[in-house]
Amino acid sequence: MSGESGNGGMREGAPEISGFLSRGSWISVSARIGNDRAGYVCDSDVNGLLLEVRDPSGDLHGYEFLPWSSIERVSADG
């Protein structure tokens, strides 16, 4: 096999973790405690993710630190 999947392989330009979680990236986060958040990445390190949280209308709702152990899923439109 050549490393491609049955659907023709990975799309060219697919993000890498460093770009996906880079400062200013818009993401949605599902936390293990049932809280979903969406906003812009401020920073991330070995401890977790700092997010500028936005409400559905786009208004700033504050900043939230999410430890990696509390994060279930991170997604981004793309």
Question: Model pTM greater than 0.85?
Answer: no
Burial of 29 (0-12, 13-18, 19+ CB in 10 A): buried
pLDDT tens across 14-40, in order? 778 878 889 999 999 998 877 889 999
59 DSSP β-pair partners = none
Confidence of residue 57 (pLDDT cuts 50, 70, 90): confident
Q: How many CB atoms lie within 10 A of CB 39?
A: 22
The domain limits of the chain are 21-73
Among 31, 42, 39, 40, which residue's Cα sits nearest to residue 66? 31
pLDDT of residue 3: 47
HSE-CB of 17 using CA atoms within 13 angstroms: 3
CATH of 21-73, one of 3.40.50.1440, 3.40.50.1000, 2.30.30.100, 3.40.50.720: 2.30.30.100
